[in-house]
Amino acid sequence: MVVHFPVALMLTGLAFEVVAAVRGHAGLARVALLLIVLGFAAALVAVVTGLTNPEVRAVQHTLSVTPPTEPGTRALFLQRLDRIRVHQRLAYGVLITGALALLVRLWRTRGALWTAASVVSGAALAAAVIATGFAGGRLAR
């Protein structure tokens, strides 16, 4: 459940932000910012729980004890470890784009350039969250 909260909160916050921009509703924009902040905090928790996941150590241990005479078994565990690493890197990307998106939103009232940066950072954050979720779903299969 920990991994679902950042996805839901961030994407809902970004959707609320679009609606707030279209309607010019300041209250909805504040709710959107709150959801993105909560999503970022939840993403931090999800990354920490992912780093402490015993499965990663189990895969690495199995690789270290599997003899080279079993290339098929090693290949399966190497593939699993590659998928885990891709998901980890994407999760770090969510943290970086999330932090940048929040910083841009704090300065958004300073002009048109910051508003454009807000749109770009929101799109980048949405893409990072979706890609990370997709990679995480591949791990579950």
- Note the pLDDT of residue 113: 81
Give the single-character DSSP code of 2.
T
| Average pLDDT score over residue span 25-50 | 93
| Average pLDDT score over residue span 39-51 | 94
Residue 50 tokens, joined: 């992912």
Q: How far apart are CA 56 and CA 77, in angstroms?
A: 10
Q: Which of 25-34, 85-94, 108-117 has the least mean pLDDT? A: 108-117
pLDDT tens digit sequence for 85-107: 999 999 999 999 999 999 998 87
- Note the pLDDT of residue 60: 86
Q: How confident is the model at residue 129 (pLDDT cuts 50, 70, 90)?
A: very high
- Note the pLDDT of residue 10: 95
Q: How far apart are CA 49 and CA 107, in angstroms?
A: 31
Q: How far apart are CA 43 and CA 129, in angstroms?
A: 10
Angle at 83 between CA 81 and CA 86, to 5 degrees: 110
pTM recorded for the entire structure: 0.85
Select from 16, 134, 35, 26 the least CA-distant residue to 86. Answer: 134
DSSP state string for 23-74: HT-HHHHHHHHHHHHHHHHHHHHHHHHHHT-HHHHHHHHHHHHS-TT-HHHH
Q: Hey, where are the domains in the chain? A: 4-140
